[in-house]
Amino acid sequence: MTISDIERLIEPAEAADEAVLEITLRPQNLVEFVGQEQIKQNLTVAIQAAKKRNESLEHILLYGNPGLGKTTLASIIAREMRASIKITSGPALEKVGDLAAILSNLQPGEILFIDEIHRLNKTIEEVLYPALEDYSLDIILGKGPAARTIRMPLNRFTLIGATTKLSMISNPLRDRFGHTYHLNFYEIADIERIINRNANLLSVRLDEASRPLIAARSRRTPRIANRLLKRIRDVAEIDNNGLIDTHVTGKAFGMLGIDEFGLDEIDRRLLSFLIEKFNGGPVGLNTLSAAIAEEMDTIETVYEPFLLQIGFLERTPRGRRATAAAYSHLGFDAPKAQTLL
């Protein structure tokens, strides 16, 4: 979420404080970045080699679920390359002129980060091809038979694209990235390390027993871990003189409606709907969306990946289905047999 996004949701003074807080929690270099070890190793080699040759990095595509650190990693890459970074998103680039203005103003070695790059429209995407390959921009002057194209050279730059939906990026665009990295869900041990680091940055007193409780409910996602830590800190400030212990942690999770697996009200509503209304499924995504009043894209991107990861949901050729583990967790009698239809 950008500063402008935050400002639309809360008061300006609060927005500035929240934005600064988010920035301070983000790691500043690859050493501080916890998890994703293979990606870090490959990036370290690529960055060192590019700096040794005094060249820009090849273009980089980062993909994975929301909250896993794609934007943070882009900022770290820029810092490691000692380069400035310009940040935009696919939906923000509405016209060819929007992209052309950004590309023509990039300085040598600068980095352009495009979030949600899968949402670029086709016209803008085609303009991006020569910019990525030849570092040039094709500009059309005039209309109709009299139209002509001129090619404007660009400074060499690095594009870092981020997406939650790799399949929605066209092959021609995907092939123009020299590096493609998939950010996985984090190990619980890594989430604990992130919580411990950020508790220190926030000057929060956190006892040893509470850290694994928070990590276990963080859906293996750093962004969620940070959010939970701040909400529990709020409860600790009011109820326990700022100390986060197991009692405060349990109370905060009760207030937030988050259970021991990290499931919230919408997760449970989704699974309960499958079990109670459709005998566990299978149910199509469109039906699920209408039943729980959530957009299909939100279900598919935010809720479904984690439920699949922990084995509470499965995909079949005919739709989504609750597993026996989901029945057990929600207190329903498990079906005697489940067969794919």
Binding-site positions for ATP read 25-26, 67, 70-72, 133-135, 176, 186, 223
Q: Which of the following is catalytic: 164, 221, 249, 323? A: 164
Q: Which of the following is catalytic: 220, 223, 233, 321? A: 223
Backbone dihedral region for residue 330 (phi beyond 0: left; psi -120 to 50: alpha; all else: beta): alpha
Q: Which of the following is catalytic: 70, 219, 233, 321? A: 70
Q: Is 221 a catalytic residue?
A: no
Q: Is 71 a catalytic residue?
A: yes
Q: Is 165 a catalytic residue?
A: no
SS (H, E, C) the chain: CCHHHHHHHCCHHHHHHHHHHHHHHCCCCCCCCCCCHHHHHHHHHHHHHHHHHCCCCCCEEEECCCCCCHHHHHHHHHHHCCCCEEEEECCCCCCHHHHHHHHHCCCCCCEEEEECHHHCCHHHHHHHHHHHHCCEEEEEECCHHHCEEEEEECCCCEEEEEECCHHHCCHHHHCCCCEEEECCCCCHHHHHHHHHHHHHHCCCEECCCHHHHHHHCCCCCHHHHHHHHHHHHHHHHHHCCCEECHHHHHHHHHHHCCCCCCCCHHHHHHHHHHHHHHCCCCECHHHHHHHHCCCHHHHHHHHHHHHHHCCCEEEECCEEEECHHHHHHHCCCCCCCCCCC
Q: Is 219 a catalytic residue?
A: no
75 and 120 in contact (C-beta within 8 Å)?
no
Binding-site positions for DNA read 315, 320
Q: Is 164 a catalytic residue?
A: yes
Q: Which of the following is catalytic: 71, 158, 249, 323? A: 71
Binding-site positions for Mg(2+) read 71
Residues with catalytic function: 70-71, 115, 164, 223
